[in-house]
Amino acid sequence: MGIQAAPYHTHSNQRFPLGQVMELPDGRIYRYAENGAVALAAAKLCQTMALGANFDTLAIQAARAVGTTTIPFTTSGSTVAENQFADGTVVVEDVALNLGEIYPVKSNTSAADPATCTLTLHDGVTVLNALTTTGKVTVRVNPWKQVIVVPTVAPSQMVVGVPQVIVGISAYGWLQTHGVCNVVVDATVTAWVIGQGVRPSEDDAGGAAFLDFDEAAQADKGLIGFAIIAGTDLDFAPIFLRIE
Amino acid sequence: MGYPNTLQGDHATPYETGSVQLYPLGQRLECPNGLVFRYAQMGASVAGVIAKLYQSEVPGANFDALAITTDIAVGDIKVAFANGVTVITEDMFEGGYLCVEETDDLGEPHRIRANTAHNGISAEPVTAWLYDGDSFRTVVTVAANNVVTLVKSPYRGIIVHPSPPTAMVVGIPRVVIAVNAYGWVQTHGVASCVTEGTLVIGQEVRPSVNADGAVINLDYDGGVAGLGCVGRVIEVAPTTDFSHIFLTLEGA
């Protein structure tokens, strides 16, 4: 539980785990996030960092027995920084064995490319099924790591919230994911309709546009909230955010 | 028996399973990073699998609109009703719900704590009790159209969703849960799920109508959008493989 002022706090050092949930007395929900390389503007919709495909389907470097707490994999195409995947996840991909297990990552070693990166699972979590070197893993950072404002064209990653305050470069702060929230209005094509849905904008970075389910490709961006007022194009207006 | 509305678990809790029921079905568990799980019982026929989307047992119509056999008074904590020809086992509806249906203005819902058994033949009524502290708020007399409808807990006897789903989807287990055993299904947050087709990062997914337990892109003009959003895509795996999905089954 947070106090009303908490969402306005930013930190130069990490105070909470990334993705930490904070709920305010009126039910608004926030997630603790790390900003990326560009300062975040207030009231603009943010997305998770783009990780690319270099962390998909990576070879398991050494077999692991049931009950072990680490998973080593071989990097391919990218280096890995120490603890880059802390509070992220690893999925075991092995359709033949019908796996698909997901584990929370506590920490990881740094690794050159190609080299071995070893993931350590969170306390108490162990490998459920034996892993062999024929297996593959896909790793992902925490969704609230190095977030960026949603680009102009469309989200290229999952939307993760709206900051209420400027968050400096590489600083930490709170992104709102639920409840009454201010966001940039995109009314270029269609004005918002009070009480109806809004989606990520395709015209304005970090903006929200009217969700018209007949607007084929744009509707697939999905609902992020409901308009509280009609708003004015490129101005700010309150919505009831429903990212989670 | 009382439990907190939400249990606070650690990273390892969602991987626990067992043959003995430890919590009420549907018990909510929140883990670090905002992951949410519900306590569920695996179905009686097929052992569970990891990373597939599950649904409730298909609700039959034989427990719809059953006639009450005794007047309900304000403050009553139980209701008696006439069963049809379907067998009811003791406490089959524990953790489930009943809705009082009356022509005028009711629709009063209550959660069921326990129920008596019935062999589907006897003329004896079945009795269902409400949870401690709950009671009926309105008088309902024995009369035509004054009936109750019962449903089991959505988390009792779960199965991999057929394609298309035939009941409400309820979550994804992170570990194999044996036949009739108990464990946690994830409803919110970063999860692994088998996928159909090529997903689009950042966009929504719905239950598949072609592959059991899988999710697929939610295309709003694709004709089956009515199945609804179950989450957003974080990472795309090849079709039939496992992708990272941010589940939003608890509402978003």
- Amino acid occupying residue B228: G
The tally of domains found in chain A comes to 2
Chain B residue numbers with beta carbons less than 8 Å from the beta carbon of A104 are 11, 32-33
- ipTM value of the model? 0.89
Nearest-neighbour CA in chain A from B120: distance (Å): 40
Question: Is A95 within the bounds of a domain?
Answer: yes
* Length of chain A measured in residues: 244
- Following CA atoms A23, A26, A28, A33 in sequence, which dihedral angle do they give, to the nearest 10 degrees? -40
Query: Does A152 share its domain with A35?
Result: yes
Residues in chain A closer than 8 A to B234 (CB atoms): 48, 140, 143, 157-158
In a shared domain, residues A27 and A12:
yes
Cβ-nearest to B203 among A21, A123, A221? A221
**Residue A236 bridge partners (DSSP):** A184
Q: Distance between CA A100 and CA A93 in Å, rounded?
A: 5
Assess contact for B36 and B30: CB atoms under 8 A: yes
- CA A181 to CA A186: how far, in whole Å? 15
Q: Which of A140, A164, A188 is the last residue of a domain?
A: A140
Q: Is B221 on the interface with A (CB under 8 A)?
A: yes
Residue A133 in domain:
yes
CB contact under 8 Å between A95 and B240, yes or no, is yes
Q: A65 in a domain, yes or no?
A: yes
Q: What is the dihedral of CA B218, B223, B226, B227, to 10 degrees?
A: -60
| Residue among A91, A99, A124 minimizing CB distance to B11 | A124
Q: What is the pLDDT along chain A (244 residues), one digit of tens a residue?
A: 888 889 999 999 999 999 999 999 989 999 999 999 999 999 999 999 988 889 999 999 999 999 999 999 999 999 999 999 999 999 998 766 668 999 999 999 999 999 999 999 999 999 999 999 988 999 999 999 999 999 988 889 999 999 999 999 999 999 999 999 999 999 988 999 999 999 999 999 999 999 998 887 899 999 999 999 998 999 999 999 999 9
Residue where a domain terminates, one of A105, A125, A140 = A140
Helices of type H across chain A: 216-219
Q: Residues A95, A112: one domain? A: yes
Give the residue from A140, A163, A190 where a domain finishes. Answer: A140
Q: Do A108 and A220 fall within a single domain?
A: no
Please check whether residues A212 and A126 belong to one and the same domain: no
Strand partners, A237: A183
Task: Domain B6-57+156-248: give its CATH architecture.
Answer: Beta Barrel (2.40)
Is residue A62 located within the same domain as residue A171?
no
User: Facing residues of B118 across strands?
Assistant: B88
Q: Give the domain extent around A192.
A: 6-49+145-242
Contacting residues of B for A121, CB less than 8 Å apart: 11
**Which residues in chain B are closer than 8 Å to A138, comparing Cβ atoms?**
235, 237, 242, 244
Co-location of A207 and A236 in the same domain:
yes
The separation between CA B87 and the C-alpha centre of its own chain, rounded to angstroms, equals 20
**Whether A46 contacts A143, CB under 8 Å:** no
- Let me know whether A78 and A31 are in one domain: no
Reported pTM: 0.92
- Spell out the domain ranges in chain B: 6-57+156-248, 60-151
**Residues A95 and A161 grouped into a single domain:** no
Say whether both A149 and A237 belong to one domain: yes
- Residues A135, A207, single domain; the answer is no
Residues A121 and A165 in one domain: no
Residue that is written with structure tokens 């992951």 in the block:
B35
- Over the stretch B184-231, which tens digit does the pLDDT of each residue have? 999 999 999 999 998 999 999 999 999 999 999 999 988 788 889 999
Our CA-based measurement puts residue A98 at a distance from the nearest CA of chain B, in whole angstroms, of 8
Partner A contacted by B190 (CB < 8 A): yes
Q: Tell me the pairing of strands A29-34 and A172-186.
A: antiparallel
Pairing of strands A159-163, A172-186: antiparallel
